[in-house]
């Protein structure tokens, strides 16, 4: 799976006005499509706000620029608006653009706006979703012929990003008492057969129980098929939504490709549901391991365990570095060449630890709460977690795992 930034949460906080007595008005963003499917407009009704300021959208780029043609509409007149200045407008409005997929392959971990000839649109908040300073409760709706539909909550700035999917769905299904709206660029009816839905039911039910969480809204899924020539299969999780690539060709979708899609889907669903704060290496490696384990819980034995991928990557760049060092390189130095270790080495660490725990009649699932005892500034496993699992599996065995996966230093 390709790297990306995966911050996960499933609940929308209710923000109260400073008086504490009245809920602030819900801001409503409107997406208006045009005859050109690659172009659209976003707008916010702001008449009720009085004076306000717009701030920049969240961005994955260091050199992001504000949108062009940002307009303030007031008393029937339009004027140019700027960020971080006082405005009085009935409405603010700006253009957004979509990449047209057609037949081209696309890695969804890039998290850009997409349009498919199948008749759906993906709007991500990066660089496009301007914010109104001081406002926290908002939703976005599709506006067509003065009618609003498909309204979804907008993430707060400390929550996972908005992935807003609208248009033609492939299917809406109920899995583990949760509605999923599925979008795709190809006909993936085989993935929705009774047998496959039963697999997803078991997989998703396990992950929801593990996280002890459920989304309050329908979850939007984008399964984007790419040719086997695209080596990386990406994924990304947002608020009540996730995106995942899978391989397909003229012969359809192979069993191996289906299995890989369920693994990635499990990874992203773990991210979306498991809201507890964790260091980045733990968040990514646990999601990847529990994506694998969710398949086992569904009665599917993947062709390879996480150990296989760790061994295959052993000759790759930075392979001798431990996960603690990889965390520092990525978060402090922005050296993303170490990011893949979170998947390969990280998932293998949890796999081996879980195997040892299961030999003693326990499971890693039971020890997850102990991971939240660490100090906020620490990226290492908490002492309480280490003491508990070491006591069960043996101090020496755990120290060997720790040396192999966590504290190993690059060879000189």
pLDDT at residue number 4? 39
> How is residue 73 written in tokens?
């509409």
- Measured between alpha carbons, how far is residue 412 from residues 312, 320, 368, 401 in Å? 21, 10, 35, 21
Name 91's Cβ contacts closer than 8 Å, sequence gap at least 6: 43, 44, 45, 46, 47, 72, 73
User: Cα dihedral angle (107, 110, 112, 118), rounded to 10 degrees?
Assistant: 10
What does DSSP say about strands 77-80 and 39-45: parallel, antiparallel, or unpaired?
unpaired
Sole residue written with tokens 């603010």:
92
The answer to the question of residue 354 being in a domain is yes
Q: What's the mean pLDDT when you consider all of the chain?
A: 86
Backbone angles phi, psi at 323, to 5 degrees: -70, -30
- The per-residue DSSP string of 203-257 comes to HHHHHHHHHT---SSPEEEEEEEE-TT-----EEEETTEEEEEEE-BTTB--HHH
- Total domain count for the chain? 1
pLDDT in tens, 140-151: 999 998 899 999
Over residues 67-116, the pLDDT tens digits come to: 889 999 999 999 999 999 999 999 999 999 999 998 778 999 999 999 99
Q: Over the stretch 182-219, which tens digit does the pLDDT of each residue have?
A: 999 888 777 888 888 888 889 988 998 998 877 677 88
Beta-carbon neighbour count of residue 68 at 10 Å? Answer: 7
- Give the pLDDT confidence score for residue 3 in this predicted structure: 38
Q: Let me know if residue 259 belongs to a domain.
A: no
User: Percentage of residues in the chain with pLDDT exceeding 90?
Assistant: 55
Angle at Cα 26 formed by Cα 140 and Cα 82, nearest 5°?
A: 70
Residue with tokens 């253009």: 95
What is the model's pTM? 0.79
Query: Is 268:242 a contact under the CB 8 Å cutoff?
Result: yes
Quote the strand ranges of 62-144, DSSP E.
71-74, 77-80, 91-97, 99-100, 114-116, 120-124, 131-132, 138-144
* Partners of 171 in the β-ladder: 182
Residue 311 domain flag? yes
Per-residue confidence band for 364, with pLDDT thresholds at 50, 70 and 90: very high
136 part of a folded domain: no
Residue 381 lies in a domain: yes
The pLDDT-based confidence of 274 (bands split at 50, 70, 90) is confident
Query: pLDDT band at residue 376, thresholds of 50, 70 and 90?
Result: low
* Per-residue pLDDT at 17: 26
Instruction: Name the pLDDT band for 390 (thresholds 50, 70, 90).
Output: very high
Residue-wise pLDDT for 300-330, tens only, equals: 888 888 998 888 878 778 889 999 999 999 9
* Domain boundaries, position 336: 304-412
- Tokens representing residue 173 in the block: 């299904």
Are 292 and 351 a contacting pair, CB within 8 Å? Answer: yes
Q: How confident is the model at residue 373 (pLDDT cuts 50, 70, 90)?
A: confident
Instruction: Measure the CA dihedral 116/117/120/121, to 10°.
Output: 40
Per-residue pLDDT tens for 5-57?
333 222 222 222 222 333 444 789 999 999 999 999 999 999 989 999 999 99
Taking a C-beta distance cutoff of 8 angstroms, is the pair 58, 161 a contact? yes
- The answer to whether residue 366 is domain-embedded is yes
C-alpha separations of 303 from 143, 256, 275, 343 in Å: 46, 8, 30, 17
pLDDT value at residue 410: 65
């Amino acid at each position: 799976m390709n790297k990306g930034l995966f911050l996960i949460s499933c609940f929308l906080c209710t923000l109260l006005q400073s008086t504490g007595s009245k809920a602030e008005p819900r801001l409503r963003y409107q997406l208006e499509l045009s005859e050109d499917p690659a172009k659209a407009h976003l707008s916010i009704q702001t008449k009720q706000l009085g004076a306000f300021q717009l701030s920049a959208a969240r961005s994955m780029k260091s050199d992001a620029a504000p949108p062009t043609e940002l307009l303030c509409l007031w008393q029937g007149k339009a004027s140019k608006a700027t960020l971080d200045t006082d405005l009085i407008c009935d409405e603010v409005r700006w253009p957004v653009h979509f990449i047209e997929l057609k037949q081209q392959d696309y890695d969804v971990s890039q998290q850009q706006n997409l349009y498919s000839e199948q008749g759906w649109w993906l709007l991500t908040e990066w660089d496009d979703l301007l914010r109104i300073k001081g406002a926290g409760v908002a939703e976005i709706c599709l506006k067509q012929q003065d009618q609003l539909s498909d309204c979804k909550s907008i993430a707060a700035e400390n929550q996972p990003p908005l992935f807003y999917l609208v248009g033609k769905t492939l299917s809406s299904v109920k899995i583990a008492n949760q509605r999923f709206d599925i979008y795709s660029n190809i006909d993936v009816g085989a993935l929705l057969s009774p047998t496959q839905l039963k697999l997803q039911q078991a997989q998703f039910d396990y992950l929801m129980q593990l996280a002890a969480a459920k989304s309050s809204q329908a979850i939007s899924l984008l399964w984007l098929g790419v040719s086997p020539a695209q080596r990386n299969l990406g994924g990304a999780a947002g608020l009540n939504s996730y995106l995942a690539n899978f391989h397909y060709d003229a012969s359809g979708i192979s069993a191996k490709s289906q299995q890989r899609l369920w693994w990635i889907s499990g990874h992203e669903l773990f991210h979306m549901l498991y809201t507890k704060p964790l260091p980045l290496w733990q968040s990514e490696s646990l999601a990847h391991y529990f994506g694998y384990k969710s398949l086992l819980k569904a009665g599917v034995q993947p062709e390879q365990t996480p150990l296989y991928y760790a061994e295959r990557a052993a000759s790759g760049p930075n392979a001798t570095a431990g996960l603690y060092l990889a965390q520092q390189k990525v978060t402090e130095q922005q050296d993303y060449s170490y990011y893949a270790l979170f998947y390969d080495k990280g998932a293998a660490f949890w796999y081996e630890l879980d195997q040892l725990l299961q030999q003693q009649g326990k499971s890693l699932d039971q020890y997850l709460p102990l991971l939240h005892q660490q100090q906020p500034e620490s990226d290492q496993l908490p002492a309480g977690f280490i003491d508990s699992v070491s006591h069960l599996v043996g101090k020496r065995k755990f120290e060997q795992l720790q040396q192999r996966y966590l504290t190993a230093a690059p060879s000189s």
